[in-house]
Structure 1
Amino acid sequence: MTRGEANDPTGGTAKVIFQPSGKSGRFAFGTPVLEAARELGVAIESICGGRGICGRCQISVASGNFAKFGVTSQPDNLSARGPVEDRYAAKRGLAPDRRLSCQARIEGDLVVDVPAASLIAGQTIRKDASSAHMVRNPALRLFYVEMCPPDLHTPVGDADRLIHAIEQDFGVEGLVVPFPLLAEVQKVLNGADWKVTACVDISGVRPELVTLFSGFNDRLTGMAVDIGSTTVAAHLVDLMNGEILASAGRANPQIRFGEDLMSRVSYVMMNTDGQARLHDAIIQCVNELTAELLENSSTERQHLLEAVFVANPVMHHLFLDLDPTALGQAPFNPGVSSAVRGHCRTLGLGLADAARFYFLPIVAGHVGADAAAVVLSERPDREKAPVLIVDVGTNAEIILWDGAQLFAASSPTGPALEGAEISCGQRAAPGAIERIRIDRETLIRRFRIIGSELWSDADGFDAQAASTGITGLCGSAIIEIVGEMLAAGILSADGIIRGPRTEQEKERLVSAGRTFAYVIRKEGPRLLLTQNDVRAIQLAKAALYAGVKLLLEKADLNTINDIRLAGAFGSYIDPAYALLLGLVPDVEVDRLKSVGNAAGQGALAALLDMDARKQIETMVLKIRKIETALEPAFQTHFVNAMGLPNSLDPFEKTRGRFGLPPLQENTGGTGRRRRQGRRER
């Protein structure tokens, strides 16, 4: 009689409850916990087929009397550890309260705790400032099988025997072995004593063999890549547990062919080899990032078997070597808008030879897969109240949820907000000014640079800045200095830098031809903010705000109280100054928040969860796409948005916060005040 049978009134069965799912059932004594879990649909991972080799199926048993379940659970209600678990514990370590569910057998009532790392569709925390969770349900799976050598009595082909073994051990039916892999299957099986680990893509209509490893292998990684116009960011992820192993980023080398998207499209149109050169540049960049990620994580290339990509439509086309010229003129029709799947080797990518890639669908001709990824990451459609998401960048993408429908548009802001095309601007790097304040009386500035936590008027700043120098203003400081100049009365509401009024002010406000400039730094490299700089910033922010206003108008919304700034650049913008510049509609500061690189997080979600891919493929078909270039109202909103913070919209909250006078009643360049929207949320 087993330990559980002594007080079991059911004649050799026990009640087992799995947490956190809450699924339960009765099972005969001696049933492996893993088998019970599978019968109940609890997706505990096991790539070794229950042989106690992989250790992925670990569980623990809760102790105590659980009245709501009607059971008393204790670790002794499992069979004692046997030689297989002892061997695993000696080799890899196994905590005292952990058991391998493939080896532990039921001998009494149990409440089984399944840790997230043991679930095929478990949860993993993103490696960034966000606390949101991602589901782990990857498209690629590993299955370890041990097969008998062929003999005269079983004249079945190697590939067929592999298919049968995987189906028998793991229940994977209908496995397809692509023709190019047949020779590899034969070679690996014969050289591995018929013990192999199969990597299988289960996301299609039928599961498909990706590659075969000799012996037991439990290493499987993927890469999520956000290809921005300015920056390319990549994450290497352990697909077995969701852990981010390494992250890297670098400037998009296509910048040398054009700062913004349309200049790159023009380069393709004007040069016969333009498309090839731009394609080669981005492929080389991704390959360099791949090599960096592999080296920094000590990961072998053969284990990097999947990549997920997001990008705006022009970057999407150039990466896939598609002609982007149609995106430069109406009706802005993309070569393909649905999700793209393929083999990495066809693009010349430096992943494993058998690696696959998945490119998220693009929303419209000017609204890309990066916007789709933002939707996937933020899921505004799950909110009851309207949500506005702005991915700030060279090509700003705007997403609006009005409580019933998603709207999307893009605005060609250009690179000015990120530091390009500004005389003292630069990319974010050590030595760049990232924060700046101007005294309202003396007009003297103080600032902080990347690489130092001290302000420039603090003791010790000069010593800290000596190693990097003070090299220019990055995007966050560019937004702040315009706001500070406005609040200090240096800038008029229409963006004109005034001249000096006192001798003291002549040190800060200097003549620059027919206009004036503000002196940020006199010594070292002289840093000035010129009238042309201010105008470039106004043009960029006006394009962004006009796109936002257009979507609000289409949704018949007058106000919105949940605004999210996305993108790596958006993460560093001070919300108060984003409002003062007039980047987004006027709200209380706590209603405007940064959500980090949401496009990159959406790429991670699609990498880790194959169901997320299906969800976004369905969602993009329901998004109402607005092409700003085809909307007459866009120009009206653009003209009004040239004002600081706006020529027509009052921005009462922001004006009050910074002590600015209220907006005077005026036409704002429109001829008359527009009728306000009919709905408020």
Structure 2
Amino acid sequence: MKQFSITVYPGGKKITASEGDVLLRVLKKAGFPIPASCGGQGICGKCRVVVKGGVCHASPSPFLRKEEISQGYCLACLVLIEGDMEIEIPPESLAAALHTETSTADQATIVGYRPAGEKSGQSSDSKAPAFEFAQPAVTEPTASRRILFEEKPIIKDKLVLGKWEIETRTKRLHLRLHPPTLEDHRSDIERLRAELVSAGFSGDRMRCPLPVLKKLSKVLRAGLWQITVTLIELPDGVEILDIQPGDQTQHHLGLAIDVGTTTVVVYLVDLLTGQVIETAGGYNAQVRCGEDVISRIIYARTPEGLAELQQLVISTINELIEQILKATGLSARNIGCVVAAGNTTMIHLLLGLDPRYIREEPYIPTVSLVPPVKASELGLKVNENAYLYCLPAIASYVGGDITAGILTTGMHKEPQLTMFIDIGTNGEIVLGNADWLVAASCSAGPAFEGGEVLHGMRAAHGAIESVAIDRESLEPRLSVIGQVAPAGICGSGIIDTLAEMFLSGLLDRKGKICRDILHPRLREGEYGFEYVLAFAKDTAIGKDIVITEIDIDNILRAKGAVYAGCSTLLKQMGLGIEDIERFLIAGGFGRYLNIHNAVVIGLLPDLPYERFRYLGNSAVTGGHLALLSQRLWREAEQIARSTTYLELSTSASFMDEYVSALFLPHTDISLFPRVEPLLKSKRAEN
């Protein structure tokens, strides 16, 4: 097969590609950070490149404007290489990719788009600064409007397990063996077995893997017949995971891992005390192959794609483990057990299982309750004999991360009617109490994580995370993560923008931008009518950052799916919104969610604010609990078995609810008593 040279600017780096290769895959393989939220299907428009010269076949895309096409713009996923090429990665692609790889912990700043010292509505001097850093006072929430969730960790300095005691699967014992003599010539393994029987373990159901057996004699003698044995209790007996000389019982470690679609979080846990010793988190490297589970299932259709996805998530986890061990000075050898929580697709990809049938009707996974797996078989950098346990899934689209969330909240043991929701690309919803649990999943799509939005991005450095629009001047004030010029807008900012445009009279209830208002930020753009959040001179990408009517339609569909899922579950159980006593929100998206604005657009039901609570990362917390208590692990298994799953894709009532929810906030405004007076006030002002 012919080989060609690809020169990539800026920088002029040369890479090699074969005839017929897809440019996006070539660039990603070479390490170039190209955004591609759809996984290279040509439906997100993010992987923009400029072909400066050479031979290729570029398929057309509706995401490219005529002037961009004339300048050589293409989508890298739609370019087939046919010869030597010179390409440039433009600033907007570099900015989007780099910003999504930075920490989400950056401090946000409020940016008001008017010159310092100037009042709203006044004209600005062209030489005046484009924006000012607003005073901190404007960031303070008010009881009536700016209401944010405050994270309340389930586990802080000290673990509270209620009535459960720490009862880990792995045990560490310090044993003193009798040295052999001419009279006592038992083998080393028989000598060890006898001591373990004396300690209360069954010798007939004991296994010793070959790697442990190989070092047994040396370790016994190096420790002068005093050793530390690490055991794990399995359904069919006890297995010796490791032996070490001397007393090493103080180093008894485990890992709890949240294998998220977007991010991966790892807890290093002291199995003696239950304490979290250290944590680490980062973006799941699989995002380069697609930002949602459907994109990754499609990417995994080939053996090479599946292997790549598995390798990417394993490398992500290993990098986080290395960070933790470096920070603590502890050894991977002492990590004897790992518990992972993730949605069903992520667990399949972690294990290298083909996930294709999760996507195809009747949506059946390979496995819901995964048997224990040797971590070394996956390449995890822990003790070579440690086992990985995956929390059980409820259904193909309600995974072990939701089981972990239910376990964390205790809603399965409480009398109050609770609704639990994890808002993401695949919004999972659970309703119930101690008597019953029902669950469903609604495909919200990637809009809340920045996908399917022209200038959308994840909540990272440079993302607009909140928006307020002055009711008189219609000028926006933007909060940007990292105190930098904006590069795009993330989910919380998108929700704020819709709510603020709606309450300012810029949007009607169908989500259409008002054509009757004359304002420099309202205009007809390449993709239809749009509102300018930031002009090019003030952005990091050198282009205007806008919200288009197409973006708004995508967001309405996403919020409509979530609300319809909630209302369908309630109606299936003969209940109403008012019956919900607790509304729990999990996942990273909920952390900075403005409750008021989420209610205004009809994403969340109109409930008293005190009923809402943000849980933080309930998936890794549930994994932490299951790691420490075998009883809680069995409880998680019971949760997965006893929760009834409702398939919304075949439900006629769901479609009716969905269509009704495609308005701001809903076709039935009486469902939103807090929003109704705001609309009356807006009409009175107009």
**Residue of structure 2 equivalent to 1:552:** 570
Choose which of 513, 538, 541 in structure 2 pairs with 1:524.
538
Choose which of 117, 140, 148 in structure 1 pairs with 2:170.
140
**Residue of structure 1 equivalent to 2:237:** 206
Structure 1 stretch 478-487 or stretch 202-211: which is displaced more? 202-211
Choose which of 485, 488, 492 in structure 1 pairs with 2:504.
488
Choose which of 597, 608, 625 in structure 2 pairs with 1:605.
625
User: Residue 272 of structure 2 aligns to which amino acid in structure 1?
Assistant: M
User: Residue 383 of structure 1 aligns to which amino acid in structure 2?
Assistant: E
Contact 1:381 1:405 in 2 (8 A): yes
Q: Aligned pair 1:126/2:152, yes or no? A: no
CA distance in 1, matches of 2:442, 2:478: 30
Q: In the TM superposition, what whole-angstrom CA distance separates every residue of 1:64-111 from its partner, at most 9, and x where no partner exists? A: xxxxxxxxxxxxxxxxxxxxxxxxxxxxxxxxxxxxxxxxxxxxxxxx
When residues 514 and 162 of structure 1 are mapped into structure 2, their CA distance, relative to the original with a 3 A threshold, is: closer
CA distance in 1, matches of 2:154, 2:167: 14
Q: For 1:101-250, what aligned pairs fall within 5 Å after superposition?
A: 126-127=155-156, 136-168=166-198, 170-174=199-203, 176-180=206-210, 181-202=212-233, 204-217=235-248, 218-250=250-282
| Cα drift, residue 507 of structure 1 | 2.3
User: Residue 489 of structure 1 aligns to which amino acid in structure 2?
Assistant: G
User: Residue 617 of structure 1 aligns to which amino acid in structure 2?
Assistant: E
| Cα drift, residue 420 of structure 1 | 2.4
Q: Aligned pair 1:319/2:334, yes or no? A: no
Contact 1:655 1:661 in 2 (8 A): no
Q: For 1:426-465, what aligned pairs fall within 5 Å after superposition?
A: 426-451=457-482, 465=483
Contact 1:230 1:394 in 2 (8 A): no
CA distance in 2, matches of 1:128, 1:370: 23
CA distance in 2, matches of 1:131, 1:579: 33
* Number of aligned residue pairs: 520
Choose which of 632, 640, 644 in structure 2 pairs with 1:624.
644
Q: In the TM superposition, what whole-angstrom CA distance separates every residue of 1:441-464 from its partner, at most 9, and x where no partner exists? A: 22122122224xxxxxxxxxxxxx
Identity %: 32
User: Residue 252 of structure 2 aligns to which amino acid in structure 1?
Assistant: L
**Residue of structure 2 equivalent to 1:382:** 413
Contact 1:389 1:564 in 2 (8 A): yes
**Residue of structure 2 equivalent to 1:510:** 523
CA distance in 1, matches of 2:379, 2:596: 45
**Residue of structure 2 equivalent to 1:570:** 590
When residues 543 and 196 of structure 1 are mapped into structure 2, their CA distance, relative to the original with a 3 A threshold, is: same
Q: In the TM superposition, what whole-angstrom CA distance separates every residue of 1:266-303 from its partner, at most 9, and x where no partner exists? A: 2223x342222211221121111221221122221111
User: Residue 283 of structure 2 aligns to which amino acid in structure 1?
Assistant: A
CA distance in 2, matches of 1:183, 1:660: 79
User: Equivalent residue of 1:336, what SS?
Assistant: coil
User: Residue 523 of structure 2 aligns to which amino acid in structure 1?
Assistant: V
Q: In the TM superposition, what whole-angstrom CA distance separates every residue of 1:169-213 from its partner, at most 9, and x where no partner exists? A: x43344613242333323321332111001111354533221111
| Cα drift, residue 649 of structure 1 | 5.7
User: Equivalent residue of 1:569, what SS?
Assistant: helix
User: Residue 161 of structure 1 aligns to which amino acid in structure 2?
Assistant: R
User: Equivalent residue of 1:375, what SS?
Assistant: helix
The structure whose Rg is larger is 1
Contact 2:503 2:682 in 1 (8 A): no
User: Residue 604 of structure 1 aligns to which amino acid in structure 2?
Assistant: H
Choose which of 484, 497, 502 in structure 1 pairs with 2:513.
497
Q: In the TM superposition, what whole-angstrom CA distance separates every residue of 1:521-565 from its partner, at most 9, and x where no partner exists? A: 123222211111111111111121222222112222112232111
Contact 2:444 2:557 in 1 (8 A): yes
CA distance in 1, matches of 2:619, 2:681: 38
CA distance in 1, matches of 2:154, 2:187: 44
CA distance in 2, matches of 1:221, 1:402: 34
CA distance in 1, matches of 2:647, 2:180: 62
> Which structure's relative contact order is higher, taking Cα pairs within 8 Å and 6+ residues apart?
2
CA distance in 2, matches of 1:535, 1:606: 41
TM-score normalised to structure 2 length: 0.72
Q: In the TM superposition, what whole-angstrom CA distance separates every residue of 1:569-624 from its partner, at most 9, and x where no partner exists? A: 11221222221221232211221221111112111111122211111112211110
| Cα drift, residue 514 of structure 1 | 7.1
Contact 2:459 2:491 in 1 (8 A): yes
Choose which of 454, 474, 478 in structure 1 pairs with 2:494.
478
When residues 125 and 472 of structure 1 are mapped into structure 2, their CA distance, relative to the original with a 3 A threshold, is: closer
CA distance in 1, matches of 2:447, 2:165: 37
CA distance in 1, matches of 2:179, 2:576: 73
Q: Aligned pair 1:252/2:284, yes or no? A: yes
Q: For 1:343-422, what aligned pairs fall within 5 Å after superposition?
A: 343-401=374-432, 404-422=435-453
Contact 1:546 1:638 in 2 (8 A): yes
Any gaps of 5 or more consecutive residues in structure 1? Answer: 1-123, 452-464, 664-681
Structure 1 stretch 418-427 or stretch 198-207: which is displaced more? 198-207
| Cα drift, residue 130 of structure 1 | 11
Choose which of 645, 657, 663 in structure 2 pairs with 1:637.
657
Across the aligned residues of Structure 1 and Structure 2, the Cα RMSD in angstroms comes to 2.4
**Residue of structure 2 equivalent to 1:277:** 308
CA distance in 2, matches of 1:279, 1:197: 34
CA distance in 2, matches of 1:532, 1:293: 43
Structure 1 stretch 305-314 or stretch 580-589: which is displaced more? 580-589
Any gaps of 5 or more consecutive residues in structure 2? Answer: 1-152
| Cα drift, residue 423 of structure 1 | 2.0
Q: In the TM superposition, what whole-angstrom CA distance separates every residue of 1:318-369 from its partner, at most 9, and x where no partner exists? A: 1111111111111111111114311101111111212211001111122111
| Cα drift, residue 132 of structure 1 | 8.1
CA distance in 2, matches of 1:131, 1:446: 42
Q: Aligned pair 1:310/2:341, yes or no? A: yes
Q: In the TM superposition, what whole-angstrom CA distance separates every residue of 1:198-243 from its partner, at most 9, and x where no partner exists? A: 1111354533221111111121211111111111121111212222
**Residue of structure 2 equivalent to 1:113:** none
Q: Aligned pair 1:264/2:296, yes or no? A: yes
Contact 1:138 1:239 in 2 (8 A): yes
User: Residue 534 of structure 2 aligns to which amino acid in structure 1?
Assistant: R
User: Residue 228 of structure 2 aligns to which amino acid in structure 1?
Assistant: T
Contact 2:209 2:240 in 1 (8 A): no
| Cα drift, residue 387 of structure 1 | 0.5
Q: Aligned pair 1:591/2:629, yes or no? A: no
CA distance in 2, matches of 1:350, 1:231: 19
CA distance in 2, matches of 1:657, 1:532: 28
Q: Aligned pair 1:425/2:446, yes or no? A: no
CA distance in 1, matches of 2:517, 2:281: 46
User: Residue 195 of structure 2 aligns to which amino acid in structure 1?
Assistant: A
Contact 1:396 1:412 in 2 (8 A): yes
| Cα drift, residue 129 of structure 1 | 12
When residues 128 and 476 of structure 1 are mapped into structure 2, their CA distance, relative to the original with a 3 A threshold, is: farther
User: Residue 137 of structure 1 aligns to which amino acid in structure 2?
Assistant: E
